[in-house]
Amino acid sequence: MDISSTNTVTEPQQTSKGNIDAAKKIKLQKAVQEFEALFVSYMLKTMRESVQKADTEGESFGGDMFDDMFNVEVAKAISKQGSFGIAESLYKKITGESLQNVPIDTQSLLQLRSSKIRYSKSQNQSSSSNVPTTLNERINRFQSAIDEAAEKHGIDSTLVKAVIAAESAGNPNALSSKRAKGLMQLIDSTAAEMGVENVWDPTDNINGGTKYLKSLLDKFDGDVKLAVASYNAGPERVEKYGDVPPIKETQNYVARVLQLWNAFKEQKGVEHE
């Protein structure tokens, strides 16, 4: 995070509000922006909850989590851009100076933190204290299984990671209200069709989900957008409309997966430089 000014700071700066050195200003800047982000996040959540869901919208394990996570990231972006001015006012009140804007990290999506990770009641449930805190950490635990399944079925491993992120946020014990299970949220019929013997086994689940995703890519001639839409809404609906179905949940899901896919591809490119 670069918040340096055009003048090199060699000594603690003097302000009309007292002695505040550069290090303290960095901490203060973060604190006031996080305060504003918290306020904006609460506002966004309240606004979203006031809108009644359409009957065509379903429920998904990853979807509810990402709604909250998206609110947080939007709130952070708003705060860093000074759109509401709360952080700016607080910072200026304390230091007597204007708050410098900080560029938004394009990889911040992969570092999202959430305290709303839910678990199934299966015997495979792990302690929440052992769950990594970021999306990246949660999914990277299964990198070898993802790479193996992606290579086996001839699919981009970063796309598999994006679907896992959107479906379960990397939780191998995720259980949705529609009884979709595991990392890639397989329903029992799909799991059986894909030859999954133990849906709670991460490797078995990822392999089955990747196999199913590959079948959808083949069905729609490699069109990732339609394959992803089918993963969420079913291929019948995609065939019916000839495009992403006009279902808000599915449209949001497709946008979310494509955004995550780009983020994972960018990350993979950086790692291999």
What CATH number corresponds to the domain at position 205? 1.10.530.10
Query: What would the pLDDT profile of 204-231 be if each residue is shown by its tens digit?
Result: 999 999 999 999 999 999 999 999 999 9
- Expressed as residue numbers, the domain containing 216 is 139-271
Same domain membership, residue 253 and residue 167:
yes
Q: Which residues are catalytic?
A: 167
* Single residue among 50, 81, 104 that ends a domain in this structure: 104
* pLDDT given for residue 124 in this prediction: 41
In a domain, 6, yes or no: no
Q: Identity (one letter) of the amino acid at 23?
A: A
How many structural domains compose the chain?
A: 2
Nearest Cα residue to 136 out of 230, 220, 69, 44? 69
pLDDT at residue 93, rounded to an integer = 78
Specify whether the CB–CB gap between 69 and 45 falls below 8 A: no
Confidence band (pLDDT; 50, 70, 90) for 83? low
pLDDT value at position 12?
39
For the question of whether the overall pTM of this predicted structure is more than 0.75, the answer is no
The mean pLDDT value for 128-143 works out to 73
pLDDT for residue 100 = 56
- Asked which of 104, 127, 159 is the last residue of a domain, the reply is 104
Residue type (1 letter), 180: A
